[in-house]
Chain A
Amino acid sequence: MLVTNLAILVLAGFVGYAVISKVPNTLHTPLMSGTNAIHGIVVLGGIVLLVNGAADGFLNKLLLVIAVAFGTINVVGGFLVTDRMLEMFKAKPKDLVEAEPEAKA
Chain B
Amino acid sequence: MITASFITDPSFRSVLYIVSFALFIYGLSGLTGPKTAVQGNRIAAVGMGVAVLATLLVPHLSNVVLILLGVAIGTAVGVPAARQVKMTQMPQMVALFNGVGGGAVALIAWVEFRESGGFADVPTYVAIFSCFAAIVGSVSFWGSNIAFGKLQELIDGGSKVIGNAQIQSFINMALGAIAVACGIAIVAGSHGEVLILVLLVSAAFLGVFLVLPIGGADMPVVISLLNAFTGLSAAATGVALNNTSLIVAGMIVGASGTLLTQQMATAMNRSITSVIAGGFGGTVEAAAGATSASGGTVRSTSAADVAIQMAYARLVVVVPGYGMAVSQAQHAVREMAKLLEAKGVEVKYAIHPVAGRMPGHMNVLLAEADVPYEQLKEMDDINGEFPRVDVSLVIGANDVTNPDARNKPDSPIYGMPILNVDESASVIVLKRSMSSGYAGIDNPLFVNPKTSMLFGDAKQSVSDITEELKAL
Q: Which residues from chain A sit less than 8 Å from chain B, CB to CB?
A: 1-2, 5-6, 8-9, 12-17, 19-57, 59-61, 63-92, 97, 100-101, 104-105
Beta-carbon nearest neighbor of B45 in chain A? A79
Q: Does B316 contact A (CB under 8 A)?
A: no
Q: Does B163 contact A (CB under 8 A)?
A: no
Beta-carbon nearest neighbor of B101 in chain A? A74
Q: Does B169 contact A (CB under 8 A)?
A: no
A31 touches which of B21, B32, B62, B335 (Cβ 8 Å): B32
- Contact B246–A45 (Cβ < 8 Å): yes
Question: Which chain A positions have C-beta within 8 A of B41?
Answer: 30, 34, 37, 79, 82-83, 86
A5 touches which of B247, B335, B370 (Cβ 8 Å): B247
Question: Which chain A positions have C-beta within 8 A of B81?
Answer: 73, 77
Q: Does B472 contact A (CB under 8 A)?
A: no
B32 touches which of A27, A67, A74, A104 (Cβ 8 Å): A27
Mind listing 18 A-B residue pairs with CB under 8 Å?
A19-B25, A20-B28, A25-B351, A31-B31, A31-B260, A32-B260, A36-B230, A39-B231, A41-B246, A54-B115, A64-B108, A66-B104, A72-B71, A72-B74, A83-B42, A86-B37, A86-B41, A88-B364
Beta-carbon nearest neighbor of B267 in chain A? A25
Distance in angstroms between the alpha carbons of A75 and B48 in the assembled complex: 8
Given contacts A17-B259, A28-B360, A29-B90, 17 further A-B contacts (CB under 8 A): A20-B256, A24-B378, A32-B94, A35-B260, A39-B249, A40-B48, A45-B105, A45-B241, A46-B107, A49-B111, A53-B62, A63-B110, A69-B73, A78-B94, A87-B38, A101-B335, A101-B338
Distance in angstroms between the alpha carbons of A104 and B90 in the assembled complex: 24
Question: Which chain B positions have C-beta within 8 A of A15?
Answer: 25, 248, 252, 255
Binds A, one of B53-61, B286-294, B298-306: B53-61
A39 touches which of B60, B75, B234 (Cβ 8 Å): B234
- Contact A61–B237 (Cβ < 8 Å): no
Closest 7 CB pairs of A and B: A72-B74, A68-B70, A16-B255, A53-B62, A77-B78, A16-B252, A28-B359
- Whether A44 touches B52, Cβ cut-off 8 Å, given contacts A68-B71, A72-B71, is yes
- Contact A51–B104 (Cβ < 8 Å): no
Q: Does B358 contact A (CB under 8 A)?
A: yes
- Contact B249–A27 (Cβ < 8 Å): no
Distance in angstroms between the alpha carbons of A96 and B126 in the assembled complex: 56
- Whether A43 touches B254, Cβ cut-off 8 Å, given contacts A72-B71, A80-B79, is no
Distance in angstroms between the alpha carbons of A63 and B248 in the assembled complex: 25
Closest Cβ of chain A: how far from B258's Cβ, in Å? 8
Identify which of A31, A41, A92 gathers the most chain B CB atoms within 10 Å of its CB: A41
Contact-residue size bin, chain B (C-beta under 8 Å from the other chain): 35 or more
A42 touches which of B67, B237, B351, B368 (Cβ 8 Å): B237
Q: Does B170 contact A (CB under 8 A)?
A: no
Distance in angstroms between the alpha carbons of A9 and B34 in the assembled complex: 29
- Whether A26 touches B242, Cβ cut-off 8 Å, given contacts A45-B105, A75-B48, is no
Closest Cβ of chain A: how far from B64's Cβ, in Å? 8
Distance in angstroms between the alpha carbons of A68 and B72 in the assembled complex: 9
Distance in angstroms between the alpha carbons of A46 and B67 in the assembled complex: 8
Q: Which residues from chain B sit less than 8 Å from chain A, CB to CB?
A: 21, 24-25, 27-29, 31-35, 37-38, 40-42, 44-45, 48, 51-52, 55-56, 58, 60-63, 66-67, 69-71, 73-75, 77-79, 81-83, 85, 87, 90-91, 93-94, 97-98, 100-101, 103-105, 107-108, 110-112, 114-115, 123, 125, 223-224, 227, 230-231, 233-235, 237-239, 241-257, 259-260, 263-264, 331, 335, 338, 351, 353, 358-361, 363-364, 367-368, 370, 373, 376, 378-379
- Contact A74–B100 (Cβ < 8 Å): yes
Distance in angstroms between the alpha carbons of A7 and B227 in the assembled complex: 23
Question: Which chain A positions have C-beta within 8 A of B112?
Answer: 49
A25 touches which of B111, B359, B368 (Cβ 8 Å): B359
Question: Which chain A positions have C-beta within 8 A of B58?
Answer: 51-52
- Whether A17 touches B44, Cβ cut-off 8 Å, given contacts A42-B237, A43-B104, A76-B82, is no
B250 touches which of A19, A41, A53, A77 (Cβ 8 Å): A41
Closest Cβ of chain B: how far from A96's Cβ, in Å? 9
- Contact B108–A46 (Cβ < 8 Å): yes
Question: Which chain A positions have C-beta within 8 A of B62?
Answer: 50-53
